[in-house]
Amino acid sequence: MKSTLNIVANPLDKLPNILKKNLDKNLCVCNEVLKMDIINAIANGATTLEEVKKKTYATGGNGCCTRQVERLIECICLDKPK
């Protein structure tokens, strides 16, 4: 695991408010993957787009949600100010 990664107990604490909305809705509409499921996958160690895709199937459709998933990974995994 890379030293820059900082997985936290509650991944929602790492998200800016705007990304905390619609947690119970599909973020990936192509494959019907809930936003919360993607957040949990990231918090449980899926720290790359490929790993999130493998665990949840998000981004596996047209890839249209790729940028949103990347943003969640950035917020949850990297120690950046919000």
Beta bridge partners of 5: 78
Query: Least separation, in Å, of the C-beta of 18 and ligand FES?
Result: 18
| By CB under 6 A, residue 63 contacts ligand FES | yes
Query: In angstroms, rounded to a whole number, what is the distance separating the alpha carbons of residues 69 and 66?
Result: 5
Segment 22 to 61, residues that bind ligand FES, using CB under 6 A? 28-31, 58-61
Which CB atom, from 7 or from 66, has the smaller least distance to ligand FES?
66
Q: Which residues of 9-37 are buried (b: 16+ CB within 10 A; e: fewer)?
A: eebeebbeeebeeeeeebbbeebebbbeb
Total residues contacting ligand FES (rule CB under 6 A)? 12
- Note the residues at the interface with ligand FES (CB under 6 A): 28-31, 58-65
